[in-house]
Structure 1
Amino acid sequence: MPVRTTPWPEGTPCWVDCQVDDPVKESEFYSDLFGWTIEDGGDDSGGYLMGRKGANTIAGIGPKPRAGTPSVWTTYFAADDVDAIAEKVGAAGGQVVMPPFDVLDAGRMLLGTDTVGAVFAVWQARAHSGAAVYNEHGAYCWNELHTRQLDAAKRFYAETFGFTYTDVGDGESMIYSMFSTRGGEQPAGGMNDDTVMPGEPMPSYWLTWFQFDDVDAGVARAAELGATIPMPATDSPVGRMAMVMAPQGELFGLIDTTVTVGEMPQ
């Protein structure tokens, strides 16, 4: 089981949490689906809950900052200096929605939007380094931006975090870029051009994927627990995958990266 106990390199997706109307109720859904134990952060946490596997943190579940906003999963990017990143966000054309602030002794963070309108967070670790468990059943394994303005998004994150890109896909049915952090050798996440996707356009958003060892069983259980399934289980070259909308409306993906079918479009 991979476990991380030190801060993540700058620009790496290092933490995910969801903001919902009723964190306690939604924590029951995730506890059942993923096998998490849920820890209450105490009186000072503002109702923020932690999903854990044993003693190790996986993800957070918290209340919405404002009533009436959508329930969402948020991707956090690691930063050595969140205040310096805040300046880069503005210089690159993004917006700092919540300026840098301290989260008790856990760390320092900001909330922002990029130039294509997707919301993200930035985390400077102190006592809390981010996700300790990753890339295994019930833990996040991939984060990707969905947008119809891929080139603009790539410029923003290159200027803000120093991302470099590897393009994959055939340019028609699949237009996708994997990003690596400054000095990183392995992809840290991806960006999908949704112009090739059918259906009505959606606003740009960051999608969190969780590793699930039997996606079909996970989809069935999620539905039993009150979720809806906007994308049923499907085979792909990167894994068998599905998309789930949790009972309070936040969207996430399930993927079994050990079950692959076919080759990536070239």
Structure 2
Amino acid sequence: MSVAEPESSVDFFAGVLGWTVIAEPGGSFSGWVGDRLAAQIVAGDQGWAVFFGGDEVRELKVNSSVDGGRVLHGPWAPPPRSGEPCWVELSTGSPEDGYWCGELGWVSRDAAEDLVVFTSARHGDARAVAGRVLAEGQERWRPFFAVDDLEAVVARVSELDGRVLLEPATVPTGRVASIEGPHGGSCVLLEKPAGWGGAWAG
């Protein structure tokens, strides 16, 4: 995530998601859950960026790219722990599912009203890797983070000067809430996902 105030932003998300924070060279920070990297926070104004696994490192549309390194989170990684990324969803007013399927080898399927789930068989059996929802406004990939107690975490957001954009609600992915830090970086919280994608896991 790139935000104007990396240090206070990582403190906010660490307070909400329980990360252990490590200061990195150049004024950036990383948030960890145990021995797994959950996020990197750097100076900038782009918000969250999403990295997908692939063979050819390259930039993609919106706030995403392909990285050739080991995938840390996803349908073939260990199940998400509280505070870790557990899903990504593209919010867009003009869907271009063919672009994402062509770039990443995904298959799209209608899952619910205005919701498409992308699947991949990159490592064997097809599994849900990401979603796409129709929504007006800025086109962006939204990260989801696992939490054990949604109501308790949402209460901490306000205590730490963040904003609750969507109060806890049940959607096809599971029980969610949308939040934003005091310096930006909106994301979604997903309660007790069984695996990558919550209700889409398995």
Name the TM-score, length of structure 1 as normaliser: 0.66
Whether 1:186 aligns to 2:127 is yes
1:135 to 51, 61, 80: 80
1:175 to 114, 118, 124: 114
Of Structure 1 and Structure 2, which has the larger fraction of its residues in strand?
A: 2
1:222 is paired with a residue whose SS is helix
- Change in Cα spacing, 1:182 to 1:157, as seen in structure 2 (3 Å) is farther
Whether 1:59 aligns to 2:42 is no
User: Offset at 1:134?
Assistant: 5.5
Separation of aligned partners in 2, 1:222 and 1:179: 30
The question of whether the paired residues in 1 share the 8 Å contact of 2:88 and 2:130 is answered with yes
**1:38-63 CA distances to partner (integer Å, 9 max, x unpaired)?**
11223xxx322111123321111111
**1:95-120 CA distances to partner (integer Å, 9 max, x unpaired)?**
xxxxxxxxxxxxxxxx442xxxx221
User: Offset at 1:192?
Assistant: 0.8
1:235 is paired with a residue whose SS is strand
**1:190-237 CA distances to partner (integer Å, 9 max, x unpaired)?**
11122xxxxxx3021100011111111111101110111111111234
Whether 1:80 aligns to 2:60 is no
The question of whether the paired residues in 1 share the 8 Å contact of 2:86 and 2:193 is answered with no
In our comparison, the structure showing a higher alpha carbon Rg is 1
The question of whether the paired residues in 2 share the 8 Å contact of 1:147 and 1:203 is answered with yes
| Residue in 2 that maps onto 1:245 | 180
- Change in Cα spacing, 1:50 to 1:133, as seen in structure 2 (3 Å) is farther
User: Offset at 1:36?
Assistant: 0.8
Stretch of structure 1 that moved more, 234-243 or 135-144: 234-243
1:143 is paired with a residue whose SS is strand
Whether 1:36 aligns to 2:19 is yes
Separation of aligned partners in 2, 1:29 and 1:145: 24
The question of whether the paired residues in 2 share the 8 Å contact of 1:57 and 1:133 is answered with no
Look up the equivalent residue of 1:55 and give its one-letter code: D
2:28 to 43, 48, 58: 48
- Change in Cα spacing, 1:123 to 1:155, as seen in structure 2 (3 Å) is same
1:230 to 165, 171, 174: 165
| Residue in 1 that maps onto 2:91 | 146
| Residue in 1 that maps onto 2:144 | 209
Name the TM-score, length of structure 2 as normaliser: 0.85
- Structure 2 runs not aligned, ≥5 long: none
User: Offset at 1:133?
Assistant: 6.7
Tell me which stretches of 4 or more aligned residues in structure 1 moved more than 3 Å. Answer: 128-134
Separation of aligned partners in 2, 1:239 and 1:81: 33
Look up the equivalent residue of 1:227 and give its one-letter code: G
